[in-house]
Structure 1
């Protein structure tokens, strides 16, 4: 039991010769605790002898009214009194073999802090002088307690300020959330003079708490890393967003009493962890070593809870920042590799076009020149030129066709002159001619004019998808659906090939899927999105969506 320093001074006064004239066998000081769940309590704080162990008595409104009467006059009570407001107190003393002689209120400032109870072993009477001395003793005790509380409050506030400064420094200097939370619950246990403390964070399902930090011998029974939110004091704090005090969680109807008994949780104070008007968890302190948690304890714990919430929020933001940085670095690496790959593709395309022109176009033009020379010689000899002229015509037509094919590979002229849908039909026809791939193009909605960069992006994405189908898909057919909606253009390319594991492909090195990266970058460059859906053995589906920003409804391409 806590013995207040001020009580020692009062005890010395009681033992003085002038005080012995009262002839009391026991002297008790009860403090009023207004934080109990059901009603205020009279809690035994100090005693002259050893008559009582830690005890408390329920205090009703009638008893409070009697104690708070103006003047602070002591009351003379006897064990035989009936229907007295102090009957529960008299019963407690009677069980200890004591009779209550005098009860004096102890005032501190304008408030009632408790009462001084003088007891004798049996019934007796008191003179007016005894009552006056007893009133003086109660007044002296009130002054001594007030001085003691002022000194304790000063020391406590200084300690609280030092703790908050320590925690604030840790928030700036320490990056480990575990270290910061450990420091916070250490300070909470020290300032609140408690045995146990823990920090609980609400999980995404809002049904469970994650035990983020804990300390204290009493929590050894906490074998799991999470606790249920339902039917618990911490869950009530989550729902209300307000702090909570329980003087005995083992009997509190609001608490999970079975869990409280298993963890040996008696007195409890809990504060919410609030971040931007949202409660994300709680900090709970258990089992005050002396007495019960009060308003000062709640205020201190709320201050530490704010610090803990800041630390948790900072840790989450730091993790998000690291994730964003890693994502930016990954993107930068992919783009760098994509740029290199694009340059290589451009060089390969130039070599292919040069070889195509050299092998297919120039060779036929040179052949045509040879035939022209032959025609010249035959003409000079007066011979017929029909066969040579026909051959010359075929060679020149082939050169024209090869030149047109090379130009088409560089830029689809149909896209500029006729629009996206005719260009896609032409693209699929050429693909079918080369590979035998069956195809269909379905168009829904009223086509509207796309910006040049949107047209070429859509065309190249479909072209790359068809190339992938031809090279890797082992498909027999492909369906292209173009849907002009009021808000977006949606193009869907679906094949019946062997498909692939999209997650495994995207996790592979960028060099293994530059085509897919390029398709997504093209879609992003025009404000669109690209989704790829595929399952091994069940074909693939590419969905491109481009917002309809400046489209004019009803205008064809």
Structure 2
């Protein structure tokens, strides 16, 4: 049998303690079991009792007692006929930890009064002193010569048993810890939702280890505050609803976030850094572990208990392992979210670029830009305001207001609106957290609900044409990231505006020319000369339009290469540094390798986007190699077999013609895949004296020519061909495929037979 000196039982007249909280999920019963658990299970007690009985038989003692040291006091196990007086005083023994054991005089006298002589030996275990064994020999019997040696043998046998039992318990605990780490590793790699991931981390730790309160906090690099993102425990719901944040350096959590060092507070009442929380009034001990990536602390894993000295050493090691494991997973989720956001922005920029190149109507272009803006920047209202030739500012496009027509009717003098100057003259992006607190804000008709406001200038060639702005009906909604995205859209919008203005001017010139021809039939020769002059001007304007568009594509490609691609490369280097730090950890190395693979895939996709915006091979190798490269590098999931044939001797075409033909082939190929469902595409380039004929044929579903005449793709093909002095013919019928013929004559350099490409 056995009992613990520290055991306490409530008497019948003693009131039960009122529970602090409900235990619907059994968590606190698990915590109670951890507190009251003894070192020996029932089966181990039976085996110990067998050893004690065998020791009595071997030594001839009348009784035997084993005194084991534990965290809760002395565990005492006895066998044989031990006198009650001696049994009661066993708990008062204070024996030396090791070496020869000297029995206290009072214990020797009591044993002698009961007819027993005492022999004791220390239990020196593998990890240090475990306790003592005490045997009582009848004084009436003659002492054996080897009695002391027999007692030491009994002690050695018991030490072997206790060490074996301790190792088995440690193995089981290590297995449970490894199982927890394994489950957590599976969850952090399988869960893609950020909130769900945080909840699963705290739930697993809380359920597996049984501590009272688990919370996960992340560092805000800009504000230098540590903020609660999830918690598990009886008060987690209220704490999450109320929210919690702490400045770095304040409190135990803030101290760990600042120093990056683990902190254990066995008794928070003795810890000067502890700051109590009204929702966690029963905290007695606290463990805070940093979530580190290299030298950078991204958060804190905090565990609190209503017991003093509640954290076992192996639990601390386990929790530090968990903290080291989840830190890369949390950072990986952040990087993936940022990457998805940047990819969405890049996709939207590509869509806006396509829209700009497909239409020259100013109203359609501005409406498309405002529509695409909704995909990456939340807003309730957005406007484009331009300066007219008379110097007045006019809202030319508006979306999302109660009365958009009322907003579009706004005209004002920029000198009367102080916020116009930093945008128009200094080309600054302006963010107002609350316009009602801004003394320079001027309320315009139809925009009375605006609170947060973000505006970016429309700059073209060093001149500011106006601005693009978005707004929200609540204060403090927009930050620097919103300003960056709006500025990027503004750079796209200004190209659309410039193109539309050029096109409007060309259209106006054409209309004026037609009117002159009708009005001055008598001046036919002068009118014919005027037509030729205007045609040359039209072609020059169209070339300029295409040049502005291609220059913007090149700028966007460089921006993506210098910002997003470099950020991805930096993340790759960071992962490599992490791999060197984790050392011989196959599980972490596998996850880092998977993260590396995903970053490499993202970088390749980004390079495809950059190449689509500006094919460098066209400038470096020429038209034919660029076309061969483009047709051969179509994605593997595109079911299109493309062939190219060159007739005649290739000669230099000039960069404008090269680019026009490349873009036409690119648009035709995309139409064949997206709209025609073609399987095969044949491209023929026929070099004639002073002329180039291009034929693009596909075996797609075809279409009725009149119905598609105004399609954006066909309009873009015609405009690009006309811009370089070419003509276009399109042949198609339903089920019969499509053929696009482009002829460009009068090419300089054809007569000398120069084969530059």
Q: Could you tell me the TM-score, scaled by structure 1's length? A: 0.49
TM-score by length of 2: 0.38
